[in-house]
Chains A and B, each alone.
Chain A
């Protein structure tokens, strides 16, 4: 820190010290912003309403976070901006629909099936498309447009088999639970709990296991990792498995708390991108935290603006972060 070099007799002005602090620990700034928003809302609307909407936001946040972790892994490791990730969510949701509604199996089975199928989808296109394109050293534009083509293809498949009508999973949408005077739907509560548990498990996996270490090595420098003797092909496949399975889970969750339609995933994609960028690309923990933050913010916004505008919150966060701090709250400015 530069502050150390300043003589004692001339203490830094408070604003200068503040700036220094912000530079070294940017996430503190983010926490500060959230606290200020929280206090302002409490002052305006009362604690109960803020806590209630915040609680509502947690299930949305869990969905964003699950989607964002998968997206950020692929983005960080393969440098691929997977615009098809939203449609991975859609695909997972419809896979669950197939098992849960068409075949009448319990939702738990449907969730595992959806995660499995979406993970397989990830592997399939790694083998068919992304691997070969990487081998040909495809440029950024090529990868972007191929991902968008894939997004359309997946949406077309969903639309072919299930049409455009709005569908719902067979979940309990009526009963709710009361905690400390706050109400949350039973399904929402399950979504929050499952989401948090899975995200923590993924976080621990990335931190503690050899695979997680290797993933981070690839994320830093793929060629160097290969030189160091890491079987990059294997790690990349695992990346797709995680990304796909988490996307599938997020899709089922989104479908359980709302509904299914072919564009559902694409509509979730931009707030998920928001979480990825806010958290810092390639940073799974950042994506996790940022996803929850964006979900809660989205619901908080309904306290001051009409609910139909709340989708704008995710976009706004994305745009503001891109403009103000594109490296995210935890990231370093090296590549931006």
Chain B
């Protein structure tokens, strides 16, 4: 994943950096972002039984809509956020309308194809998205960057924090905001899940035909489920955009979706509280590999990256083969498909 500025330090330094708050804060931000995205996947996969492999696409639509609205059309950052959420939810519904009628495995393939189309578009529609060069500030007015308004807020938070902590980490305000969002989303979803609406979702997961026989418009419920994950994907996308400072299409690879899935299944399916825990555990393991004191040959930077990929792969395989319900999931609640 994207190395944060503080992390490009030589690999051998290791243990000193372990006590470096900047490092742990940046890991915490990543964990929070993925917790938000994985919460959306939990609604889809854990509670509605639809395997959405398009989370990265939702994140990209959210992040790029926000950035384009601010940079290209001159919207205020604060107005662009709800607009971008709306755009992403609309996009989710548009994707869902034809594809949610499909069998679960086809839906998974359709959503990953959709996400890759979005990324391809971001790569090639250079006039709009900046392509592989990235998008951060306006071409005509280099002082108009999408992260400007956030930086102001971030600075004032840190001004306040500096009363208690002499030199607060630059990412500290983002950490706070991201995790407050995780908290709100988790609590909100738990309440939503207890409502009659939430029970219909579970009914669809268990037996869609039965839910339909009871007169429920299951497509409508599945669309709502997808719209919620699109919304959460967009929010995750915003935070990722603020964390990065520049948007590149490569930040929205399918790998991102599957990191979120790793977070999800680690925390456990059909359990909202597990998601945050899974996110923290996953990212501390993945980023922790930066700090095991590995000698440079043979452990070059690419090999450490490969190692992280291998850990993710082994984690997914191991969990799915031996403990599919994850740490806090309920085995009875994860029967998908036939």
A270 and B106 in contact, given A152-B309, A152-B316, A153-B317 (Cβ under 8 angstroms): no
The smallest C-beta distance from B314 to any residue of chain A, in angstroms, reads 6
Expressed in whole angstroms, the Cα–Cα distance for A139 and B335 within the complex equals 6
CB of B309 within 8 A of CB of A156, answer yes
CB of A153 within 8 A of CB of B313, answer yes
Chain B residues closer than 8 Å to A47, beta-carbon distance: none
Selected contact of A141 from candidates B51, B300, B310, B318, CB within 8 Å: B51
CB of B309 within 8 A of CB of A146, answer no
Question: Of residues 291 to 338 in B, which have CB atoms within 8 Å of A's CB atoms?
Answer: 300, 302-303, 305-307, 309-310, 312-321, 324, 334-338
* CB closest chain-A residue, reference B303: A160
CB of A152 within 8 A of CB of B109, answer no
Expressed in whole angstroms, the Cα–Cα distance for A196 and B232 within the complex equals 47
Question: Of residues 248 to 299 in B, which have CB atoms within 8 Å of A's CB atoms?
Answer: 254-255, 258, 261, 265, 269
Expressed in whole angstroms, the Cα–Cα distance for A270 and B113 within the complex equals 7
A277 and B261 in contact, given A142-B324, A155-B309 (Cβ under 8 angstroms): no
**A250 within 8 A of partner (CB):** no
The smallest C-beta distance from B336 to any residue of chain A, in angstroms, reads 4
User: Number of A interface residues, CB 8 Å?
Assistant: 46
Expressed in whole angstroms, the Cα–Cα distance for A166 and B222 within the complex equals 42
**A248 within 8 A of partner (CB):** no
A315 and B120 in contact, given A146-B321, A155-B309 (Cβ under 8 angstroms): yes
CB of B313 within 8 A of CB of A145, answer no
The smallest C-beta distance from A88 to any residue of chain B, in angstroms, reads 14
* CB closest chain-B residue, reference A316: B117
Stretch among A215-223, A251-259, A284-292, A306-314 lining the B interface = A306-314
Chain B residues closer than 8 Å to A154, beta-carbon distance: 313
A322 and B102 in contact, given A146-B320, A148-B258, A153-B314 (Cβ under 8 angstroms): yes
**B99 within 8 A of partner (CB):** yes
Question: Of residues 194 to 214 in B, which have CB atoms within 8 Å of A's CB atoms?
Answer: none
* 0/1 string, A149-178, CB within 8 A of B gives 1: 111111111011001100000000000000
Question: Of residues 83 to 109 in B, which have CB atoms within 8 Å of A's CB atoms?
Answer: 98-99, 102-106, 108-109
Selected contact of A140 from candidates B124, B309, B337, CB within 8 Å: B337
**B178 within 8 A of partner (CB):** no
A153 and B102 in contact, given A159-B305, A315-B117, A319-B117 (Cβ under 8 angstroms): no
Classify chain B's interface size. Answer: 35 or more
> Chain A's interface: helix, strand, loop or mixed, by majority?
helix
**B22 within 8 A of partner (CB):** no
CB of B321 within 8 A of CB of A159, answer no
* 0/1 string, A125-147, CB within 8 A of B gives 1: 00001001100101111111110
Chain B residues closer than 8 Å to A139, beta-carbon distance: 324, 334-337
Chain A residues closer than 8 Å to B108, beta-carbon distance: 81, 144
Chain A residues closer than 8 Å to B110, beta-carbon distance: 318-319, 322-323
Chain A CB count within 10 A is highest, among B114, B116, B319, for B116
CB of B106 within 8 A of CB of A277, answer yes
The smallest C-beta distance from A145 to any residue of chain B, in angstroms, reads 5
**B112 within 8 A of partner (CB):** yes
CB of B313 within 8 A of CB of A149, answer yes
The smallest C-beta distance from B325 to any residue of chain A, in angstroms, reads 10
* 0/1 string, A301-336, CB within 8 A of B gives 1: 000001011011001101100110010000000011
Chain A residues closer than 8 Å to B310, beta-carbon distance: 152-153, 156-157, 160
The smallest C-beta distance from B317 to any residue of chain A, in angstroms, reads 4
Selected contact of B116 from candidates A143, A150, A315, A322, CB within 8 Å: A315
Expressed in whole angstroms, the Cα–Cα distance for A334 and B306 within the complex equals 42
CB of B324 within 8 A of CB of A336, answer no
Expressed in whole angstroms, the Cα–Cα distance for A143 and B315 within the complex equals 14
**A91 within 8 A of partner (CB):** no
Selected contact of B320 from candidates A138, A151, A266, A326, CB within 8 Å: A138
A145 and B316 in contact, given A160-B303, A323-B99, A336-B106 (Cβ under 8 angstroms): yes
**A113 within 8 A of partner (CB):** no
A-B CB contact pairs (8 Å), 30 listed? A133-B321, A138-B321, A139-B336, A141-B45, A141-B104, A141-B324, A141-B337, A142-B320, A144-B105, A145-B316, A146-B316, A149-B313, A149-B315, A149-B318, A150-B313, A153-B309, A153-B314, A156-B306, A157-B310, A159-B302, A270-B116, A309-B120, A315-B113, A315-B116, A322-B109, A322-B110, A323-B110, A326-B102, A326-B103, A336-B102
Measured CB to CB, the residues of A under 8 A from B are 81, 129, 132-133, 136, 138-146, 148-157, 159-160, 163-164, 266, 270, 273, 277, 306, 308-309, 311-312, 315-316, 318-319, 322-323, 326, 335-336
Nearest 6 A-B pairs (CB), nearest first? A149-B316, A140-B337, A152-B313, A153-B313, A156-B310, A159-B306
What 12 new A-B contacts, CB under 8 Å, besides A149-B316, A270-B116, A315-B116? A81-B105, A140-B51, A145-B319, A152-B312, A154-B313, A159-B305, A270-B112, A308-B123, A318-B110, A322-B106, A322-B109, A336-B103
